[in-house]
Amino acid sequence: MKSIYTRLWAKARPFYDKGRPMDIEHIEWMMEEADRLCETEGLEERILLPLVILHDAGYARVPKDNPFNLDVRRAHMKEGAKIAREILNEIGYDIGRTETIIYFISVHDNWALDDVEVYRKNKLLWIFTDLDFIWMATHKGFDAVRNILRLESGEMIRYLESTEKPAKPIGFACEATEKVFKSYLRERKDDVTRH
C-alpha cells in the first residue's frame, strides 16, 4: 500500500481506537479488498482508499449506542465528514478529491436510510458500500455484528441473506463484489453447519 494511505491510516487510527471495538479490523479488511478492487475493476484508488480509511472515524464522536440505530448512523456520517476534512487538509491531500471523499463519507450509509440514488450516480461509491456491507459476512465481521444485534449464528445467516443490501433495489455494484459476498456467506454457512 502506498505511503500516503499508510499516513492516512496512522492519522485516522486514534479515532478508531475511540470508536467501535470492531472498526480497526473492519477498516484493515476493507483496505485490502479496496486495494485489490482498484486493480481488478479499474477504480480510482485516490478516492476509494481514503474513503475506506476514513469513513467510520465519526463513531469516535457519537454516543456509544447500537450502530444500526439510524440516528447514530446519521451522526457518525456527519462527524466522519468533519474528521475526514481535518485529516485530509492536515496532510495536504488534493482539494478536489478531498471534497469528493468528504461528500461520500457524509452519505455512505444512505442506503440504510432508503436513499439509494447517490449510488446509482457513482459506481465507486456503490462499490465502496458493497465492501462496507460485505464485511458483515467475514469471519470477524459476522461475530461482531451478530453480537451487536444479539442474534444466534443461524439468525445472522438469515439476516445477511435478507437484509438491506441484497434485498433493496440497489443490489451489488458489480459481479466482483457480489461474488465476494456469496463466497463469505457460503463460508459462514459452512461454519454454522459444522457447529
Distance separating alpha carbons of residues 87 and 111, to the nearest angstrom: 26
Distance separating alpha carbons of residues 152 and 142, to the nearest angstrom: 11
Where along the chain do its domains lie?
3-194
Are 81 and 106 contacting, i.e. CB atoms less than 8 angstroms apart? yes
Per-residue pLDDT of the chain (195 residues; tens, 9 = 90+): 689 999 999 999 999 999 998 999 999 999 999 999 999 999 999 999 999 999 999 999 999 888 888 999 999 999 999 999 999 999 999 999 999 999 999 999 998 888 888 888 899 999 999 999 999 999 999 999 999 999 999 999 998 988 656 545 678 888 999 999 999 999 999 998 887
Q: Which long-range contacts (CB under 8 A, 24 or more apart) does 46-49 make?
A: 46/94, 46/97, 47/97, 47/100, 47/101, 47/104, 47/124, 48/124, 48/127, 48/128, 49/1, 49/5, 49/8
Q: What is the pLDDT of residue 164?
A: 59
pTM (2 d.p.): 0.93
| Cell 499508510 found at | 6
Pull the grid cell for residue 57. Answer: 472515524
Q: What is the pLDDT of residue 1?
A: 67
Q: What is the pLDDT of residue 168?
A: 59
Q: What is the pLDDT of residue 119?
A: 87
Instruction: Please tell me the CATH code under which domain 3-194 is placed.
Output: 1.10.3210
